[in-house]
Structure 1
Amino acid sequence: MKKKPFLIDALTGNSKTLVSYNKKGQMERLFWPRIDSFQQLEEINIGVYLPKARRTTYFHEDGWEHSQRYEEETNILINEIRHAHLPVTVTQFSYVLPDRDVIVHDYIFNGDTEVLEGALLMVDAAFNLEHQSRYQSVYFSRESQTHVHYLNKTAVAIGSGNGVDGFESGRNEIGARRNDLNGKEEVNKQGGAISFHLNGAGEGQAVSVHFAMSSAPKEAERLCRETLADKQETLYEQTAAHWQNHLALAEKQEIEDPLRKKLYDRSLLTFALLYDKENGSFIAGPEVDEDYVYSGGYGYCWGRDAAYIATAADVAGYHDMVKAFYQSMLEIQEPNGSWNQRHFTDGSLAPVWGLQIDEPGSILWGLSGHLLRTENEAFAHKAWPQLKRGAEFLLSFIDEETKLPLPSKDLWEKRSGEHQYSAAAVYGGLSGVVKVARWLGISEEDFVTRCEEACREMKEAVLTRGWSEEEQCFLRSLYLEVDELAYLRAKESGEEVAFREDKNGFTSYYKVEDPTVDISLLGLSVPFGMIDPHDPKMVKTAEKIREQLTSPVIGGIERFPGDIYIEGNPWMLTTLWLAQYYQAVDRHEEADELIDWVGRFTPELGLIPEQVDKFSGEPAWVMPLTWSHAMYVLALKESK
């Protein structure tokens, strides 16, 4: 299989189909029938065969120069392509139809008439349908004039409204390069090539190629011919209108700064691309690390990320989208009231590596906020039994000694312990459920009282046992789990340690205090509201964060000292988190500096990455990260 890049440059889609592109307009990944699965693409090379040159030159190859942008207020990608040595320019428009699973590439050629005489558009394609390179078949349909790749319940038909010049079923890269396609109609192998005539003569020659996805070959053929029968201008206009209407559904937000407005709108458009409309789930980002080389993957729905994303979408005005998300979360709640770490968008369990108690807390916090924000009493009454069940689970997961949540993974999925951020999320969930109960007039005083008492005790524990007088900062965690060797070394050095033995005789070892400064400590105040942002202890913690986590070369805020993930860079969401804290304490000038820093290091297309390189400022990992976009929207909502 072809090695895929970890960084992509652009996205198009329709909430069911998701396509990622590199900066040269080449498709890198194609997800269908859901935005998280399957990744169907091995490689697609598209270029122009020039008879006078007697060869095909692909648009992603050396010799072509590219500029890339989105059509304003849409998810339509435009690549302006110019050859460095040949008098040829090409404009490529890439988009997915909003109502049908068809990827459209429109090409307009301009240049020297003699050079373009007899030119063909060459499409050399190989798919890994249903994540497989084996058992694939390809055929050319003379009836529909499409090239069809299929396996099991997945089929892709490639066609154009222009005439077909040649085709070959089965990969023949040399034949495609020379336009020497042998006309083989059917083969049980991967890949194939097809070439199309350009429409017109001289300046403005055009060709449109459609890639239609369906669950059966004949249906893919039919869908391809159906969309090709429509006027290409109409399809383009309908797609543009769909995205413009999406933005029009948002609550009006006055943003004077052009860059901020651009990133705000791009965030709302990105929410739609990374949202499975059929199943109501948000994914953390387009998948770029399928083999878990550097991470556990990103094309999944986490309750942690999604609670922030849904809150941002909610305050932006997309209440129906957010309601559908929480309905999907209620459907996959575990019988004991908890939620697993992450899921596929259809609700099935994804690979996990441990309970994160902050996630059920975050889901309850976000759902409660949505219900109170929209005042949807019918949905609130329907959701109440599961809200209560979730709160009961949180109450059962509290350490009687510390009054903090029992050990679980932290929000960065790195460490097990009794984390202060986790306590804040649990507090946010419990207090949110209490507010919903009061609003609905639910007379379950014993339950409400237990929630309120747990919140009070948890807050007191954070302010007392969770505070380090020596460091003048909140501790990151209590009872940080370590291996036995680290336990013994800590004990020898005089640190407070502990061990616990479970009912099966297994021993866990702990450092009792973890004083590491971590951006997540802001969660005590923003967004979960456990600690008043003006509380002196919170103010001192925020200052420690600014002092210790500001990246020294380019600025921005890192997660914690010694972070080695992708070499430890400033993250966009962490920088925006501090901005939101500064907004909460009326330090708006400092907040604006951080917001503008994010804008300065976001690439031209407006897709906000997870993190940027600490020296160059270039995107360093997953782009876009939906959580980053959510934090940008939330920051701009509070900007003054």
Structure 2
Amino acid sequence: MARPIVLSNGELHVGINKYALVHDFYYPYVGLENHAAGRSLRHHVGIWADGTISWLDDDTWEFDYSYPHQALIGHIVARNHTLGIILEFDDTVDAEMSVFMRNVHIINMRETVRDLRLFFHQAFVIGDSRSNTDTAQYLPDADAILHYRGRRAFIVSAQDDNHAVFDQYSIGLFDIEGREGTFRDADDGELSMCPVEHGRVDSTIRFKLDLQPHSSLRVHYWIACGSSTREALYIHRQVAKQGINARLDRTNKWWHEWLKPAKATAEKIDAAHRDMFIKSVMLVKSHIDKRGAVIASTDTAMLNYWRDAYGYCWPRDGAYALWPLIRMGYKDEAYRFFEFCRRGLSSGGYLMHKYRADGALGSSWHPYVHEHGVVAPPIQEDETALTLFVFSQYYHLHEDENLLKEFYEPMILPMANFLASYIDTRTGLPKPTYDLWEETFITSTYTTAVVYAALQAAADLAEKRDDADSVVAWRAAADDIRLAAVKHLYNADVGVFRKGLIVNEADEVVYNETIDLSSFFGSFMFGLFAVDSDEVSQSAKTIQRVFGLDQAHPGVPRYQNDNYRRAHAETPGNLWFVTSLWMAQYYLETSLPDEAMNVLNWVRDSAWATGVMTEQLDPLTHREVSIAPLTWSQAEYLSTLLDTIPEAVV
């Protein structure tokens, strides 16, 4: 299930699902410690009217979603024509304090006076713990409900425009001992007023509202977060004192200030893409933890069918996400990311598969022992190479010598030395590691291209540091890779770049002839082959023919017969925004702007109204597949639009 609205301040991150309900609640890291991951943890919102209760996820409501303020403030309109009720939500995470806020506008569409009861339900499994030892209790002195466990505390409260607080509450158990949750206590419009419970606990609060015909009222709801009850209570009292409207205004101003570089850039692109450009910038920012991690996606929907979700920092995804921000002049986010990578760098000079937001290693299915007993680190070498390459872009944009003082010896030097030394002498190419799709242990064309570019970039940085020995070593290594790539990585008979190769036990080179979009993209984007070379030009033609690309069908899969979440065996795989946008970038590089804009328009039209993009689309139904938003999809859209600006910084 997509998250059409995501909200974040780099510490508290909230995902709102298609029913306008809180469905992900991360604190104190973006992407780590999701306290509301799972179907039973949806934070229900309901209206009791005319003797019956209606919850927003009971399929009787219609929803519209938007980010109308050029700020990460979501606007949701929920309509129930049967009840004659409209609910309007203005939602945000405060830019300066870790508090989630909902300004709810309740509208009576009937010509009669209405006795309405508005219910807010909260369910947490604090720390994503599988033990049942959370506590919830009513705090009469604070007019609030406290949920806590260990070093995590959440204060729930609400008041109307007249500062009147909720009039009833209920605290109880859910998803245990046959209990569905305290939201069921609201079915009759009344709550039981239970003041405390421990175990797997949830809570519900109520507002009783008398609405005149065709009139409306507002209720202001919030969840304040802290590493202690004292901290959470302090934030709660600030919100209660200042009011949600004031906090919304401050958050709106914060985003308008932060977005200035993006807005200046947006003025240079096609007007039809400016709104979604700004939304994509905000969505990328929303997935960046303030301590440097860039999270691939905070949508936990895939936990319903997979072992894990995307709530990790892949260095590759992080580098791609930050590249367009760097090009627009943003500095702090990239700097913290490079600090994050420097801290996570292994003693061997390479980055691991993925990391948690706190810097710890993330889960992995990559072994140290590979086919035929080959022992090698469980990595994707392109992640190290791309991070180094993007750091070089960052440095050359700012020309800040302090960057080299901080990063050259502890990060650039070990990374580049690893890349230059991790060469298979039998092929002259990088040794096998996992490809960027995390599936195949191979010397891939894509990884080869990024390693080549990274070594060239590192040599340029070494010149700045007067490190002559490294300049010679790294450029020589890059040159050797280039020569070996010409020999091995292009299939002239088919007219396309190979996915890669492996050397078997008999020292024979075995080629993987799969047509992979990453091989094509990497070859021209990172300069392994000139964009106007016969190899690149012919590969583009082969890809267009094999995948049937035309104006009506501009989307492409990752590679031939991609089985990841593949819905239809008769198709080559689901359509990916990332790879489709790579084709658009090729069109721009070869002066085919109309073809590029056709891809961009298809991507824009396939996204949610809020700008949220999924990872994949079903090629037949065009329905979203997998998680949404995917940070990389948003970022690749930005990078492609930046390429349409003639004077854009590369």
The TM-score normalised by the length of structure 2 is 0.89
- Which residue number corresponds to residue 483 of structure 2? 460
Q: How do 1:230-249 and structure 2 match up within 5 A?
A: 230-249=242-261
- Which residue number corresponds to residue 471 of structure 1? 494
CA contact (8 A) 2:3 2:299 kept: no
The RMSD of aligned alpha carbons is 2.2
1:587 CA drift (Å): 2.1
The CA deviation string for residues 164-189 of structure 1, in whole angstroms up to 9 with x for no partner, is 21112104343222133222211113
User: What SS does the aligned partner of 1:66 have?
Assistant: strand
Q: Are residues 539 and 294 of structure 1, via their aligned partners in 2, closer, same or farther at CA, if it must alter by over 3 Å?
A: farther
Q: Distance in 2 between matches of 1:309 and 1:211?
A: 29
CA contact (8 A) 2:146 2:153 kept: yes
1:638 CA drift (Å): 1.4
- Which residue number corresponds to residue 130 of structure 1? 127
User: What SS does the aligned partner of 2:334 have?
Assistant: helix
Q: Distance in 2 between matches of 1:574 and 1:11?
A: 24
Q: Are residues 429 and 251 of structure 1, via their aligned partners in 2, closer, same or farther at CA, if it must alter by over 3 Å?
A: farther
- Which residue number corresponds to residue 171 of structure 2? 169
- Which residue number corresponds to residue 141 of structure 2? 143
**After alignment, is 355-364 or 602-611 more displaced?**
602-611
1:222 CA drift (Å): 3.4
What is the letter of the counterpart of residue 392 of structure 2?
S
From 543, 555, 576, give the equivalent of 2:541: 543
Does structure 1 residue 407 correspond to structure 2 residue 432? Answer: yes
Q: How do 1:386-425 and structure 2 match up within 5 A?
A: 386-425=411-450
Q: How do 1:442-453 and structure 2 match up within 5 A?
A: 442-453=465-476
- Which residue number corresponds to residue 559 of structure 2? 560
User: What SS does the aligned partner of 1:578 have?
Assistant: helix
What is the letter of the counterpart of residue 605 of structure 2?
R
1:525 CA drift (Å): 3.5
Q: Are residues 392 and 551 of structure 1, via their aligned partners in 2, closer, same or farther at CA, if it must alter by over 3 Å?
A: same
1:61 CA drift (Å): 2.2
Q: Are residues 113 and 510 of structure 1, via their aligned partners in 2, closer, same or farther at CA, if it must alter by over 3 Å?
A: farther
- Which residue number corresponds to residue 371 of structure 2? none
Does structure 1 residue 631 correspond to structure 2 residue 636? Answer: yes
Q: How do 1:184-203 and structure 2 match up within 5 A?
A: 184-189=194-199, 190-198=201-209, 203=215
The CA deviation string for residues 593-636 of structure 1, in whole angstroms up to 9 with x for no partner, is 22222122122211122111111222212211111111111111
- Which residue number corresponds to residue 302 of structure 1? 314
CA contact (8 A) 2:269 2:644 kept: no
Does structure 1 residue 363 correspond to structure 2 residue 387? Answer: yes
What is the letter of the counterpart of residue 47 of structure 2?
V
Q: Distance in 2 between matches of 1:587 and 1:251?
A: 26
1:300 CA drift (Å): 0.8
- Which residue number corresponds to residue 621 of structure 1? 626
From 103, 117, 120, give the equivalent of 1:120: 117
CA contact (8 A) 2:31 2:295 kept: yes
From 568, 589, 598, give the equivalent of 2:594: 589
From 216, 234, 240, give the equivalent of 2:228: 216
Q: Which ranges of structure 2 fall in alignment gaps of 5 or more residues? A: 173-180, 367-377, 567-572, 646-650
Q: Distance in 1 between matches of 2:515 and 2:594?
A: 24
CA contact (8 A) 2:70 2:278 kept: yes
1:578 CA drift (Å): 1.1
Q: Are residues 364 and 594 of structure 1, via their aligned partners in 2, closer, same or farther at CA, if it must alter by over 3 Å?
A: same
Q: Distance in 2 between matches of 1:587 and 1:252?
A: 25
Q: Distance in 2 between matches of 1:634 and 1:421?
A: 18
Q: How do 1:204-283 and structure 2 match up within 5 A?
A: 204-250=216-262, 252-253=264-265, 254-255=267-268, 257-277=270-290, 279-283=291-295
User: What SS does the aligned partner of 1:275 have?
Assistant: coil
What is the letter of the counterpart of residue 98 of structure 1?
A
Q: Distance in 2 between matches of 1:112 and 1:348?
A: 52
Does structure 1 residue 181 correspond to structure 2 residue 191? Answer: yes
Q: Are residues 112 and 532 of structure 1, via their aligned partners in 2, closer, same or farther at CA, if it must alter by over 3 Å?
A: closer
Q: Are residues 164 and 312 of structure 1, via their aligned partners in 2, closer, same or farther at CA, if it must alter by over 3 Å?
A: same
Q: Distance in 2 between matches of 1:164 and 1:417?
A: 60
User: What SS does the aligned partner of 1:148 have?
Assistant: strand
1:358 CA drift (Å): 0.9
Q: Distance in 1 between matches of 2:445 and 2:75?
A: 46
CA contact (8 A) 2:44 2:183 kept: no
Q: Distance in 2 between matches of 1:54 and 1:221?
A: 36
From 378, 381, 401, give the equivalent of 2:405: 381
CA contact (8 A) 1:404 1:418 kept: yes
- Which residue number corresponds to residue 90 of structure 1? 87
Q: Relative contact order: is structure 1 or structure 2 higher (C-alpha 8 Å, sep ≥ 6)?
A: 2
1:592 CA drift (Å): 1.8
